[in-house]
């Protein structure tokens, strides 16, 4: 029995299934969670999606009503964990990625756990592990689950739409090196199932607000600093600056890629002062410019080689100074 058939068997034998994903929800964590939920329902079973926090507004075109948030309904999430006989861990591979509150519930749960993820260095806490670091996204792996368990006939537009969103967003609209021939084969299966890809692109890309564009314009024109010797762009944003432009979750998500699009840039780093800490987004190009180790060793983060996150408890200026001091150790001149 292959691993995906094992997962199907676990779903069919479970009565109380919980689907979890990492804190700071994104397109892949939300898309893979909803796609798996709808697949499980197609198998005739029930599940509940429990996430640590709210999804960014740009994902509101998806039906998010089935997601129970730890931040909003902790008692309901606690009861779901306590009753669970199967827990899915999607798009994360370390228990602390779900946030402190949900981490306690996850560690206390004694039921079977299944990890489906594509990040480096997974922890050994689940019973069944699908860890494919060459996969473009966790959403792609959910399609693999449907396909390789022999259930591709169940794939439809409802299941496929959030999965397409997960792949689309985690590949930067298919521009990252994580996009392989298999990725396009998976996308073809989604389109064949009725996914309206042009409507998804419109829903994701044509939703800017005036305040978001003004914030991005301010960030690029007034705040971006380019370290010419290293071809790295850095954009630091303070709490006051975000508030001035009526910041909403997700408003800064495209800034790192925008800065990275400047001709000759090797990496882009954006950090913003939110929720009492500095949240950092790292993006880079090429195998010779990984950012995940840098994020992991100095900014309590990690992720993909060319797309990682991190955080700092220092001030914005102190974080900027630390960043500049460390960059020569991880990036070469020229």
pLDDT digits (tens, 9 = 90+) for 157-175: 999 999 999 999 999 899 8
Domains of the chain: 3-205 (3.90.1640.10), 210-330 (3.10.310.30)
pLDDT digits 0-9 by tens, 28-53: 999 999 999 999 999 999 999 999 99
Q: Please give the model's pTM, rounded to 2 decimal places.
A: 0.85
Is pLDDT at 227 greater than 90 in this prediction? Answer: yes
- Edge-first strand listing for the sheet containing 17-21: 67-69, 47-51, 17-21, 86-90, 112-117, 128-131
Q: What is the CA radius of gyration of the chain?
A: 20
- What lies within 8 Å, CB to CB, of 271 at 6+ separation is 235, 236, 237, 278, 279, 280, 281, 312, 316, 319, 320, 323
Tens of pLDDT, residues 108-119: 999 999 999 999
3-state secondary structure of 262: coil
> What is the per-residue pLDDT for 48?
98
Give the pLDDT of residue 334: 77
Phi-psi region for residue 242, left (φ > 0), alpha (ψ -120 to 50) or beta?
Answer: alpha
Give the number of other CB atoms < 10 A from CB of residue 329: 9
CB 219 within 8 A of CB 316: no
User: H helices of 130-266, where?
Assistant: 138-148, 157-170, 181-192, 197-205, 210-218, 239-244, 255-260
Tell me the helix, strand and coil percentages in the chain, rounded to 5: 45, 20, 35
Burial of 12 by CB count in 10 Å (0-12 exposed, 13-18 middle, 19+ buried)? exposed
């Amino acid at each position: 029995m292959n691993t995906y058939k094992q997962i199907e068997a676990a779903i069919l034998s479970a009565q109380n299934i919980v689907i979890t994903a990492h804190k700071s929800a994104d397109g892949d964590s939300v898309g893979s969670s909803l796609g798996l939920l709808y697949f499980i329902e197609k198998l005739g079973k029930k599940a509940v999606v429990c996430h640590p926090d709210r999804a960014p507004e740009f994902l509101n075109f998806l039906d998010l009503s089935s997601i129970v948030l730890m931040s909003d309904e902790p008692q309901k999430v606690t009861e779901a964990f306590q009753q669970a006989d199967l827990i899915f861990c999607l798009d994360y591979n370390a228990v602390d990625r779900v946030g402190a509150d949900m981490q306690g519930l996850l560690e206390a749960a004694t039921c079977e756990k299944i990890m489906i993820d594509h990040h480096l260095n997974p922890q050994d806490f689940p019973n069944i592990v699908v860890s494919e670091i060459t996969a473009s996204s966790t959403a792609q792996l959910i399609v693999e689950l449907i396909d390789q368990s022999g259930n591709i006939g169940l794939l439809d537009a409802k299941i496929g739409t959030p999965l397409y969103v997960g792949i689309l967003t985690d590949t930067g609209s298919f521009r990252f090196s994580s996009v392989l021939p298999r990725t396009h084969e998976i996308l073809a299966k989604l389109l064949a199932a009725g996914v309206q890809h042009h409507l998804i692109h419109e829903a994701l890309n044509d939703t800017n607000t005036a305040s978001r564009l003004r914030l991005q314009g301010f960030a690029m024109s007034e705040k971006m600093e380019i370290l010419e010797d290293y071809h790295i762009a850095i954009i630091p944003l303070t709490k006051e600056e975000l508030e001035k432009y009526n910041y909403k979750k997700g408003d800064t998500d495209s800034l790192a890629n925008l800065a990275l699009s400047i001709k000759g840039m090797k990496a882009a780093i954006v950090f913003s002062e939110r929720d009492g800490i500095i949240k950092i987004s790292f993006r880079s190009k090429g195998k010779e410019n990984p950012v995940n180790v840098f994020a992991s060793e100095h900014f309590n983060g990690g992720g993909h080689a060319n797309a990682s996150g991190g955080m700092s408890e220092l001030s914005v200026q102190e974080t900027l100074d630390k960043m500049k001091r460390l960059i020569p150790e991880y990036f070469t001149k020229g």
